[in-house]
Amino acid sequence: MNRYNAPPVIYPSGRSLLEAYGLVLAWTCGLLTLSGWLLTAGGSAFIFAAVAAVLLVVGVTALRCWRSADHGQLHWDGKCWRWESQAGHTLAQKHKQEQEQEQEQSICVIVDFQSWLLIRMENQSHACQWLWLERKNAPHRWLDLRRAIYAPHRDIGLEHGLELHGNSDRTNFQL
């Protein structure tokens, strides 16, 4: 069987408007649901104030998380994925970040809306990061990115002349 890897690609990522709209929609649904519950249940002023405080804290937290979303570039070099952050960090944070960037990342597509992708990246030490990738960030590289994400990737064993066969219970190696 002939297998091809996707060509190398570098794709920019940052704050997503789709993510912001989703957060606003979720917060608004929570506001309407809790408001309806308070109106029909006839809650006291204390309960109303507590619910309003919780909604305010959740909204501010969501806004802060969205505004602090990491900007950077997703790299596919033909063999492995890497994330390169462009956020400003202190020297200690930058050194730690450089060590993490040297690690290979695995990618899992969580949601695919054709023009938006939500992916989960996990490095070898199991630290994960979520990224919203949008076509509008680099339309001329979007299809290359999708090819790299969905293309079957070469197994390390195949590169060394080993062919892997098997199921989840066992693996047979044949030269």
Q: Over the stretch 26-84, which tens digit does the pLDDT of each residue have?
A: 889 888 888 887 778 776 778 778 888 888 898 888 888 888 777 889 999 888 888 88
Query: What DSSP element (H or E) covers 111?
Result: strand 105-112
In terms of domains, do 37 and 98 share one?
no
Query: Same structural domain for residues 54 and 80?
Result: no
| 99 and 128 together in one domain | yes
Q: How many structural domains comprise the chain?
A: 2
Q: Are residues 150 and 91 in the same domain?
A: yes
Residue 103 lies in a domain: yes
On whether both 87 and 136 belong to a single domain, the answer is: yes
Paired tokens of 139: 């339309």
| Pair (36, 101) in one structural domain | no
Residue 49 domain boundaries = 17-67
| Residue with more model confidence, 86 or 119 | 119
Report which of 153, 171, 174 is spatially closest to residue 163, judged by C-alpha positions.
Answer: 174
| Nearest to 54, CA basis, from 83, 33, 75 | 33
| Mean pLDDT for all residues in the chain | 77
Quote the pTM value: 0.64
Q: Are residues 33 and 75 in the same domain?
A: no
* Residues 37 and 92 placed together within one structural domain of the fold: no
d(Cα 147, Cα 136) in Å, to the nearest integer?
A: 17
Q: Kindly state whether residues 47 and 93 are assigned to the same domain.
A: no
> For residue range 132-146, what is the model confidence (pLDDT) as tens digits?
899 999 999 999 999
Q: Is residue 52 part of a domain?
A: yes
Let me know whether 40 and 84 are in one domain.
no
Q: Indicate if 53 and 101 belong to the same structural domain.
A: no
The answer to whether the CB of 121 falls within 8 A of the CB of 128 is yes
Compute φ and ψ for 13, nearest 5 degrees.
-145, 150
More confident residue, 111 or 158: 111
Helices 17-41 and 45-67 cross at an angle (nearest 10°) of 180
Backbone angles phi, psi at 131, to 5 degrees: -130, 135
> pLDDT band at residue 9, thresholds of 50, 70 and 90?
very high
Both 56 and 115 in one domain: the answer is: no
